[in-house]
A and B are shown apart, each in its own frame.
With several copies, the nearest count.
Chain A
């Protein structure tokens, strides 16, 4: 199965998005080799540098508009629950413009997987602060320092009722793949926050490389422990960054509860 589209990649050299592309492609490839039909993949992205990813993977895709990935792929899932739908969003796209949708997708526990390219900056629009840009950071729109406190999306997702909340780092390909693999395997809403650098506008390469570490002995079935661990790193430029699954819970999904076994596309 050839997942290449032949489209020229226009990301800046060493952009974190490359690794996410590699990880996602590898996992899709893996699943197809294991017998999933390539026809049953449907991916979507919003708008941002990250969003170009749909042009780089040769499966069914919808290049949507800024912030609207969760409802778009939810619509696909409801139309045809046999599809494996994966959404790619940026921190601006997913936690900013479209934050309402990710909160509600989590709340509903619809069976979709959201991969957030969290470079903590608006890349494509050339470097304004994003919801996860640390306070004080100088950006194009805050040349004297960002006056906003940054969001902790792990906490936000826990607070929204997400049943699979994970963080990974774009510098750890294997870990990324494992998180994506598990996120897709999770029956229900899965969000994977990928901490990565934007080389051109917020190059935290060294910091992320040095400080990301895989959580051990964490009980991901305990919502209170998940919350506490989420508080360990607050999306600043200081301290260690725990990666791994913060929380996982199994419960009936929205699409199951809504469709009760129907497939609208095939009915």
Chain B
């Protein structure tokens, strides 16, 4: 069972919310869901749509073809008619075939055009054969205004269409969340107490989510005057012993790069979330791209140590954000969660794994405390202001106490080597971890290499074509030990950028790229693969 429903209208129609409620309805009866949201850089008008995919198997992507189109306006028909077999539409505003409902006039009569959402949701319930009670209880938990009217609207919609399918409960509900929500929860589970940001699509919803639910999660949020302040405030709070995450997109991240280098030198474990969007520069700001990879891997002047991971769905976002937080603190290096709009703002079914804060190496209280003690593994025991009074962090090259060194070349060498030594130890640790995942046909002569948001499309296209898929989870340290094992035969890199950045780093010649801001669908990728296989 695999059904897709597209809801389309204008910005301001509440399309996104409608999509989420539809997904939650099917989640309630045990289905896996995925939502792709498409919108532009405007607040009212334009054209927004959400594609809700419902399946009895795991899904992490949407398809080009949809089974049902729900049209709030004529534009939706013009743009999406080709995708669909069946249509439900607002007959007050749209001319087309299918099932029309006079939604606008009914909703206006009840006082708010936004009631159209509930009408269409009711209609979808009937159409798919889902019990209306499920929609009612979800809407009660989501809307706080015009509750009675919304209930009436559901009913009106329900009664306006014919039943076509018969979706039955097949299991228990899972969590339904966006990538950004999963990142927020994963960080909180790993001990984050402070989230600092300056708003920037597609990272903003982390700020919104944590501002709203922070109290419950034990997380305080601060919005700063700009991204430079964000990163440096995080340095201050980490230095004072509080796990801190910051979030932004490429342009904002650019402003943090001086501080990335500071984190490396001062050994301050700030956790950076970089959610990519279509660039360069402002580019196509509400659409997706994976073109900040090289920038993030190489950001900061000097030989910068870092850990960078790239989750490919909500479950990985949760687990790996937690992991990165713990690694950043253990190794006292900046950590990076590299995602893109297609993960941050897409909605997934998720069963969350276990994440908890792991204690870093702490000072034993003996002797005088020095922040940068030279140790075998390069990791100096931590202590914080409030506990000691000789904790001295520094952006300068320094001695074990954190005091400036300029002439002593010997100490300069030792500190450079100490920082690199930590990375060696980290690399060894990761050899025991899952740093890549392998899917599909293990005997295939062709391997698709994916990272981040292309995961869903790759797995599905590979399944249909009988190929193998290798997903890279860690980007720094680059798990060459695993890649060498799995990247054999013909390797095709699949990336959503114009130059094939990962392929370039790994020296992979064959690649399938997309750079119009839209993610791959499995169908599209399959077609492109068929052309070259």
Cβ contact within 8 Å between B233 and A71: yes
**Which of B115-123, B390-398, B416-424 faces chain A?**
B390-398
Q: A101-B229, A126-B43 are in contact. Are A264 and B236 (CB under 8 A)?
A: no
Once the chains are docked, how many angstroms separate the CA of A72 from the CA of B239?
Answer: 9
Whether B171 is near chain A, meaning CB under 8 Å from some CB there, is no
Cβ contact within 8 Å between B389 and A71: no
Q: Which residues in B have their C-beta under 8 angstroms from that of A7? A: 403-404
Cβ contact within 8 Å between B229 and A104: yes
Q: Which residues in B have their C-beta under 8 angstroms from that of A64? A: 232, 235, 262, 395
Whether A12 is near chain B, meaning CB under 8 Å from some CB there, is yes
Cβ contact within 8 Å between A62 and B204: no
**Which of A19-27, A36-44, A240-248 faces chain B?**
A36-44
Q: Which residues in A have their C-beta under 8 angstroms from that of B389? A: 37-39, 41, 58-60
Interface bits A1-45 vs B (CB < 8 Å: 1, else 0): 000010100111100000000000000000000000111111010
Q: Which residues in B have their C-beta under 8 angstroms from that of A80? A: 240-242, 384-386
Cβ contact within 8 Å between B43 and A60: no
Once the chains are docked, how many angstroms separate the CA of A37 from the CA of B389?
Answer: 9
Q: A52-B404, A80-B242, A101-B225 are in contact. Are A12 and B392 (CB under 8 A)?
A: no
Whether A141 is near chain B, meaning CB under 8 Å from some CB there, is yes
Most chain-B CB neighbours within 10 Å: which of A47, A55, A63? Answer: A63
Cβ contact within 8 Å between A13 and B395: no
Cβ contact within 8 Å between B386 and A265: yes
Cβ contact within 8 Å between A58 and B390: yes
Q: How far is the CB of B259 from chain A (nearest CB, A)?
A: 7
Q: Which residues in B have their C-beta under 8 angstroms from that of A262? A: 220
Question: With contacts defined as CB atoms under 8 Å apart, how many contacts are there between chain A and chain B in the complex?
Answer: 219
Q: Which residues in B have their C-beta under 8 angstroms from that of A83? A: 240, 385-386
Once the chains are docked, how many angstroms separate the CA of A262 from the CA of B226?
Answer: 25
Q: A74-B233, A75-B234 are in contact. Are A141 and B385 (CB under 8 A)?
A: no
| A60 nearest in chain B by CB position | B385
Q: A38-B389, A52-B404 are in contact. Are A200 and B44 (CB under 8 A)?
A: yes
Whether A97 is near chain B, meaning CB under 8 Å from some CB there, is yes
Once the chains are docked, how many angstroms separate the CA of A39 from the CA of B369?
Answer: 12
Cβ contact within 8 Å between B237 and A128: no
Once the chains are docked, how many angstroms separate the CA of A147 from the CA of B224?
Answer: 12
Q: Which residues in B have their C-beta under 8 angstroms from that of A59? A: 389-390
Once the chains are docked, how many angstroms separate the CA of A259 from the CA of B212?
Answer: 15
Cβ contact within 8 Å between A265 and B43: no
Q: Which of A39, A79, A267 contacts B237 (CB 8 A)?
A: A79
Q: Which residues in B have their C-beta under 8 angstroms from that of A67? A: 226
Cβ contact within 8 Å between B204 and A126: yes
Cβ contact within 8 Å between A12 and B45: yes
Q: On chain B, which size bracket covers the interface?
A: 35 or more
Q: Which residues in B have their C-beta under 8 angstroms from that of A144? A: 211
Interface bits B34-60 vs A (CB < 8 Å: 1, else 0): 000000111111100000000000000
Q: Which residues in B have their C-beta under 8 angstroms from that of A40? A: 385-386
Q: How far is the CB of B304 from chain A (nearest CB, A)?
A: 14
Cβ contact within 8 Å between B262 and A65: yes
Once the chains are docked, how many angstroms separate the CA of A210 from the CA of B261?
Answer: 44
Q: Which of A37, A54, A75, A97 contacts B240 (CB 8 A)?
A: A75
Whether B111 is near chain A, meaning CB under 8 Å from some CB there, is no
Q: On chain A, which size bracket covers the interface?
A: 35 or more
Q: Which residues in B have their C-beta under 8 angstroms from that of A186? A: none
Q: Which residues in A have their C-beta under 8 angstroms from that of B154? A: none
Whether B282 is near chain A, meaning CB under 8 Å from some CB there, is yes
Q: Which residues in A have their C-beta under 8 angstroms from that of B240? A: 42, 75-76, 79-80, 83, 265
Once the chains are docked, how many angstroms separate the CA of A6 from the CA of B199?
Answer: 31
Whether A228 is near chain B, meaning CB under 8 Å from some CB there, is no
Cβ contact within 8 Å between B194 and A97: no
Q: Which residues in A have their C-beta under 8 angstroms from that of B236? A: 44, 62, 71-79
Once the chains are docked, how many angstroms separate the CA of A62 from the CA of B270?
Answer: 15
Q: How far is the CB of B142 from chain A (nearest CB, A)?
A: 15
**Which of A117-125, A172-180, A187-195, A218-226 faces chain B?**
A117-125
Q: Which residues in A have their C-beta under 8 angstroms from that of B232? A: 64-65, 68, 71-72, 75, 101
Once the chains are docked, how many angstroms separate the CA of A1 from the CA of B302?
Answer: 38
Q: Which residues in B have their C-beta under 8 angstroms from that of A155? A: none
| B258 nearest in chain A by CB position | A65
Once the chains are docked, how many angstroms separate the CA of A265 from the CA of B197?
Answer: 19
| B401 nearest in chain A by CB position | A5
Q: Which residues in A have their C-beta under 8 angstroms from that of B223? A: 128-129, 141-142
Once the chains are docked, how many angstroms separate the CA of A189 from the CA of B277?
Answer: 35
Q: List 23 contacting pairs A-B, 8 Å CB cutoff, sorted by A.
A: A40-B386, A44-B236, A54-B394, A60-B389, A60-B392, A62-B235, A65-B251, A68-B259, A71-B230, A71-B232, A74-B233, A75-B239, A76-B237, A80-B385, A82-B386, A83-B385, A100-B228, A101-B232, A141-B207, A142-B211, A258-B220, A264-B237, A265-B384
Which residues on A are within 8 Å of B, measured CB to CB?
A: 5, 7, 10-13, 37-42, 44, 47, 49, 52, 54-55, 58-68, 70-80, 82-83, 96-97, 99-101, 103-104, 122-126, 128-129, 131, 140-144, 200-201, 258-259, 262, 264-265, 267
Which residues on B are within 8 Å of A, measured CB to CB?
A: 12, 40-46, 193-194, 196-201, 204, 207-208, 211-212, 218, 220-226, 228-230, 232-242, 244, 251, 258-259, 262, 266, 281-282, 384-396, 398, 401-404
Known A12-B12, A73-B236, A140-B207; 19 more pairs at CB < 8 Å: A7-B404, A10-B42, A11-B42, A13-B44, A41-B385, A42-B385, A47-B395, A60-B391, A68-B235, A75-B232, A75-B233, A78-B220, A82-B386, A83-B240, A96-B226, A125-B200, A128-B207, A129-B223, A141-B208
Q: List the 6 shortest-distance A-B pairs measured between CB atoms, nearest first.
A: A75-B236, A79-B240, A75-B237, A12-B44, A75-B233, A79-B242
